Amino acid sequence: DPTPLCGLFGFGSGSGLAEVTQESWAKRKVAFVTGITGQDGSYLTELLLSKGYTVHGLIRRSSSFNTSRLQHLWRDQHSKAPNKLFLHYGDLTDSANLVSVIAKTQPSEVYNLAAQSHVKVSFEMAEYTGDVDGIGTLRLLEAIRTVGLEKLTKFYQASTSELYGKVKSTPQNEDTPFHPRSPYGVAKLYAYWMTVNYREAYGMFACNGILFNHESPRRGRTFVSRKITRAVAEIYLGKQDCMWMGNLDAKRDWGHAKDYVEGMWRMLQHNQADDFVLATGETHTVRHLINLAFSILSIPLKWVGEGIDEHAIRLDTIPPRVVVRIDPRYFRPAEVDLLLGDPTKAENELNWKRRWNFEELVRDMVESDVNSARGLVEDHN
Ligand code: NDP
Ligand code: GDR
């Protein structure tokens, strides 16, 4: 059925736009990405530009430079060269701004990747995390509806394996019950259900991608994988002695961000809106990740001690040196002990297949961090 465009911005029937269908709207290939300056935002933007999309991104005003992950994609707006990437100031806490940017950009696809995404920080900034990650998602969904695009524009919500929290069964799939363990997880649970609710209440093409941990050389430096690979690179080059870590027993299902942004896009190209898990189907401890990162640089480790006295010693120096120690400051008030995802539904219905395995991921990150520690490449985050 033709879907009339109506709402605040005045595309009522008779405007000539009344015959627009979701199919013809999708052909415009205009994406709006919140969180575009983050790890996933930068890879997704690369993917969308390579597929011929025009990409509009939401960026926050900051006193420091926050677009370094996009630098290689950016063209000066005054240059004559064709430009398909546009950035708009805004924030998920500012409803009027979201309505105005959606009205101005008229996207065919919206990817909501913006979030206060650090689980440990969410315990210290619980209200703010709820406002951005939970209510912020509602504000964006409402902005799409206010502009009258809810039957045309497809919506992707960055949901997370943190929803499973205290896991009820393993491996986790789309039917596993949720039990979040942090203000971040609880805020994302609200956003998850809001996305489902807008699908059911307004017929919106709204999908949750329940993504397990995914990393890359562009991962923020305070997440465990990047903290480890940077520290290993610095220790290797003699620029740092030791890294201080939290819970080494936590198990995560770690994949490569490049594979996961492909899955996000596939969800919005599917013939119906649905929720999908993206994961590798493998789990590893933090300790294993540390061992692997050191072994890539041929540094043999020996673990000694227990609890907060546990530490790792590198054996290739005389005398052997302590390179990993425990600092309780990095423990969380409530921990997610084990995550292991089952991506069968995405593999079968979206034909999604990851290309990177765990060792290739860690190698990519270690090599990139060694190159940036040597000053051979710029570190973009
Ligand atoms: P990052 O932390 O790298 O990026 C977060 C992005 O959100 C940044 O662009 C940040 O802007 C922006 N942002 C933060 N607060 C606001 C706000 N109030 N208004 C507007 N923008 C804001 O996250 P990732 O790229 O790793 O993750 C992308 C999304 O996927 C997040 O929602 C995350 O919670 C979720 N997720 C991530 C997983 C992962 O393993 N990476 C797994 C599952 C879900 P700025 O650069 O200015 O700080
Ligand atoms: P996570 O990622 O909480 O799973 O959330 P993070 O890398 O922060 O932690 C993974 C596990 O490592 C343990 N850990 C440490 N973590 C950090 N950050 N620093 C340390 O020093 C450290 N030592 C041990 C943690 O306790 C935890 O168990 C990420 C984010 O990207 C979320 O936004 C996303 O939703 C989930 O992944 C899926």
Say if ligand 1 is within 6 A of residue 220 CB. Answer: yes
ipTM of this predicted structure: 0.99
Say if ligand 1 is within 6 A of residue 134 CB. Answer: no
Q: How far is the CA of 133 from the centre of ligand 1 (A)?
A: 9
Angle in degrees, CA 350, 223, 255, rounded to 5: 25
Per-residue pLDDT of 342-351, as tens digits, reads 999 999 999 9
Q: What is the mean pLDDT of the chain?
A: 94
Query: Which residue has its alpha carbon closest to ligand 2 atom 23?
Result: 246
State the residue for tokens 């609710």. Answer: 197
Neighbouring CB atoms inside 10 A of 221's CB total 12
**Distance (Å, whole) CA 365 – CA 352:** 23
Residue 248 Cα: closest atom of ligand 2: 24
At 380, is the pLDDT very low, low, confident or very high (cuts 50, 70, 90)? low
State the residue for tokens 């898990």. Answer: 277
pTM for this prediction: 0.96
Per-residue pLDDT of 17-36, as tens digits, reads 567 999 999 999 999 999 99
Query: Which residue has its alpha carbon closest to ligand 1 atom 13?
Result: 114
What value does the mean pLDDT take over residues 177-198? 99
Helix/strand/coil for 82 = coil
**Distance (Å, whole) CA 213 – CA 242:** 25
Alpha carbon separation from 214 to 118, 219, 252, 273 (Å, rounded): 13, 9, 10, 23
Helix/strand/coil for 39 = helix
What value does the mean pLDDT take over residues 41-69? 97
What is the pLDDT at residue 81? 74
Residue 30: closest CA among 54, 57, 47 = 54
Residue 159 Cα: closest atom of ligand 1: 44
Structural domains of the chain ordered from first start: 22-216+254-284 (3.40.50.720), 224-252+285-333+357-373 (3.90.25.10)
Answer whether 246's CB lies under 8 Å from 327's CB.
yes
Whether the predicted pLDDT of 13 surpasses 60: no
Residue 132 Cα: closest atom of ligand 1: 18
Per-residue pLDDT of 96-155, as tens digits, reads 999 999 999 999 999 999 999 999 999 999 999 999 999 999 999 999 999 999 999 999
What are the tokens at 215? 């990393």
**Distance (Å, whole) CA 204 – CA 150:** 5
Whether the predicted pLDDT of 1 surpasses 70: no
Decide which of 17 and 221 is more confident.
221
Say if ligand 2 is within 6 A of residue 15 CB. Answer: no
- Give the 3-state DSSP-derived string for 269-328, with helices as H, strands as E and coil as C: HCCCCCEEEECCCCCEEHHHHHHHHHHHCCCCEEEECCHHHCEEEECCCCCCEEEEEECH
Q: How far is the CA of 215 from the centre of ligand 1 (A)?
A: 13
Answer whether 370's CB lies under 8 Å from 237's CB.
yes
Per-residue pLDDT of 245-262, as tens digits, reads 999 999 999 999 999 999
Alpha carbon separation from 84 to 36, 70, 75, 368 (Å, rounded): 14, 13, 9, 28
Ligand nearest to the CA of 125: 1
Q: How far is the CA of 21 from the centre of ligand 1 (A)?
A: 31
What is the pLDDT at residue 78? 77
At 381, is the pLDDT very low, low, confident or very high (cuts 50, 70, 90)? confident
What is the pLDDT at residue 18? 60
Whether the predicted pLDDT of 14 surpasses 80: no
What is the pLDDT at residue 241? 97
Ligand nearest to the CA of 62: 1
Residue 211 Cα: closest atom of ligand 2: 38
At 41, is the pLDDT very low, low, confident or very high (cuts 50, 70, 90)? very high
Answer whether 215's CB lies under 8 Å from 256's CB.
yes
> What residues are labeled active site?
160, 162, 184
Say if ligand 2 is within 6 A of residue 157 CB. Answer: no
Q: Which residues contact 36 (CB under 8 A, 6 or more apart)?
A: 42, 44, 45, 55, 57, 58, 59, 70, 87, 113
Q: How far is the CA of 28 from the centre of ligand 2 (A)?
A: 38
Say if ligand 1 is within 6 A of residue 341 CB. Answer: no
Answer whether 149's CB lies under 8 Å from 203's CB.
no
